[in-house]
């Protein structure tokens, strides 16, 4: 299989590219900086320049002849929430997806599948309510971005592609995402539950994100939104306890929401609000999770496995 991947140099992208390469698939990475990408990508992966994903269509010649496209690029949400950051977070996803679909339109022959990135932020803050792919969207900034982002990906279906969207939860990896930010205080023994700790974290192991993406690529009946999160979401308090246990450090110091909101603004809701998302579609399709248990996943993510 030949697969075009955007965001291939990111936390999820690299895991996906490695999994594709491991099974003998050919990877074409579309990146803003092919030189830097080539240094990070596994041997054999080709890096092609897509310098302005918000402004110009993805290069059709790089997409032509690919069997599938996996679209994972996006400005990081883990940053200070300024107007400029919000715009870039939205535009890189919404306009970036529009430009990818424009590139797909011009490709000949076109890939048969688009696996689009998405996020459990789609659901907004839902308290204890269990949500699956049939649940309606939330109404905060991130939820509105995800709704627009998915709508752009769906346009590829008009071109005859099968479109699936990986509504990914909080990925456990020491090289990116929420866990990377949590690790330093926990390692110093000053970590603990955030914002009361009762909110649910739709965590997912990085290997399962790559596993689920490849699974959805291969399954002709995988389409539409697909929650990519572990079968048992846990509360933030339990996540803190388990992380403390894995690191051999106490994890009892509560972290108030206020400084996080000050630092990350709307984006703080990823850890302060939470969502109890479950992977209904993946389970219906029969995906076998590699690390469905939190402690094993935290061990792997922190280098203990």
Ligand X SMILES: NC(=O)c1ccc[n+]([C@@H]2O[C@H](COP(=O)([O-])OP(=O)(O)OC[C@H]3O[C@@H](n4cnc5c(N)ncnc54)[C@H](OP(=O)(O)O)[C@@H]3O)[C@@H](O)[C@H]2O)c1
Task: Give the interface with ligand X as residue ranges (CB under 6 A).
Answer: 7, 9-13, 31-33, 37, 53, 72-76, 88, 92, 96, 117, 119, 168, 170-171, 176-177
Nearer Cβ to ligand X (176/185): 176
| In the complex, least distance from residue 76 CB atom to ligand X, rounded to whole angstroms | 4
**Which residues, other chains included, contact 227 with Cβ-Cβ below 8 Å and sequence gap of 6+?**
120, 132, 133, 167, 169, 202, 277, 278, 279, 280, 281, 282
Nearer Cβ to ligand X (96/103): 96
Distance in angstroms (rounded) separating the CA atoms of residues 181 and 255: 13
Nearer Cβ to ligand X (25/205): 205
Distance in angstroms (rounded) separating the CA atoms of residues 193 and 251: 7
| In the complex, least distance from residue 37 CB atom to ligand X, rounded to whole angstroms | 5
| In the complex, least distance from residue 187 CB atom to ligand X, rounded to whole angstroms | 20
Q: Which residue is nearest to ligand X (CB)?
A: 10
Element containing residue 178 per DSSP (H, E): helix 177-187
Phi-psi region of 137 (alpha: psi -120 to 50; beta: other; left: phi over 0): beta
Helix/strand/coil for 57: coil
Nearer Cβ to ligand X (53/111): 53
For 82, 100, 110, 130, the CA distances from 4, given in Å and listed in that order, are: 32, 11, 11, 34
Nearer Cβ to ligand X (151/220): 151
Distance in angstroms (rounded) separating the CA atoms of residues 236 and 251: 11
Nearer Cβ to ligand X (82/160): 82
| In the complex, least distance from residue 67 CB atom to ligand X, rounded to whole angstroms | 21
Nearer Cβ to ligand X (79/108): 79
| In the complex, least distance from residue 209 CB atom to ligand X, rounded to whole angstroms | 8
Contact 31, 8 (CB under 8 A): yes
| In the complex, least distance from residue 98 CB atom to ligand X, rounded to whole angstroms | 13
Half-sphere exposure of residue 264, counting CA atoms within 13 Å on the CB side?
Answer: 19
User: First vs last Cα of the chain: how many Å apart?
Assistant: 30
| In the complex, least distance from residue 224 CB atom to ligand X, rounded to whole angstroms | 17
| In the complex, least distance from residue 16 CB atom to ligand X, rounded to whole angstroms | 9
Closest CA to 123 of 292, 269, 286: 269
Name the CA radius of gyration of the chain, rounded. 19
Nearer Cβ to ligand X (76/283): 76
């Amino acid at each position: 299989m030949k697969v075009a991947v955007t965001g291939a140099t990111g936390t999820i992208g690299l895991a996906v590219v490695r999994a594709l390469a491991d099974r003998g698939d050919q990877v074409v990475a579309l990146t803003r900086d092919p030189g830097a990408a080539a240094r990070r990508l596994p041997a054999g992966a080709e890096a092609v320049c897509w310098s302005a994903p918000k402004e110009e269509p993805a290069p059709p010649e790089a997409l032509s002849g690919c069997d599938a496209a996996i679209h994972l690029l996006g400005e990081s949400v883990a940053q200070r929430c300024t107007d400029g950051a919000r715009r870039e977070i939205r535009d890189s996803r919404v306009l970036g997806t529009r430009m990818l679909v424009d590139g797909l339109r011009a490709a000949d022959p076109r890939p048969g599948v688009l696996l689009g990135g998405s996020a459990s932020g789609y659901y907004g803050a839902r308290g204890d309510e269990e949500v699956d792919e049939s649940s309606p969207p939330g109404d905060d900034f991130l939820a509105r971005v995800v709704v627009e982002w998915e709508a752009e990906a769906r346009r590829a279906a008009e071109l005859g592609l099968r479109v699936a969207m990986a509504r990914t939860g909080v990925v456990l990896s020491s090289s990116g995402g929420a866990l990377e930010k949590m690790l330093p205080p926990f390692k110093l023994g000053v970590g603990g539950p955030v914002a009361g700790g009762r909110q649910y974290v739709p965590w997912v192991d990085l290997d399962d994100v790559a596993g689920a993406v490849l699974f959805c690529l291969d399954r002709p009946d995988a389409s539409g939104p697909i929650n990519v999160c572990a079968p048992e979401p846990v509360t933030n308090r339990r996540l803190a306890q388990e992380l403390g246990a894995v690191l051999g450090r106490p994890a009892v110091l509560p972290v108030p929401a206020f400084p996080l909101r000050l630092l990350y603004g709307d984006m703080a809701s990823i850890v302060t609000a939470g969502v109890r998302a479950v992977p209904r579609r993946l389970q219906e399709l029969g995906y076998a999770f590699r690390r469905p248990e939190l402690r094993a996943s935290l061990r792997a993510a922190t280098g203990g496995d």
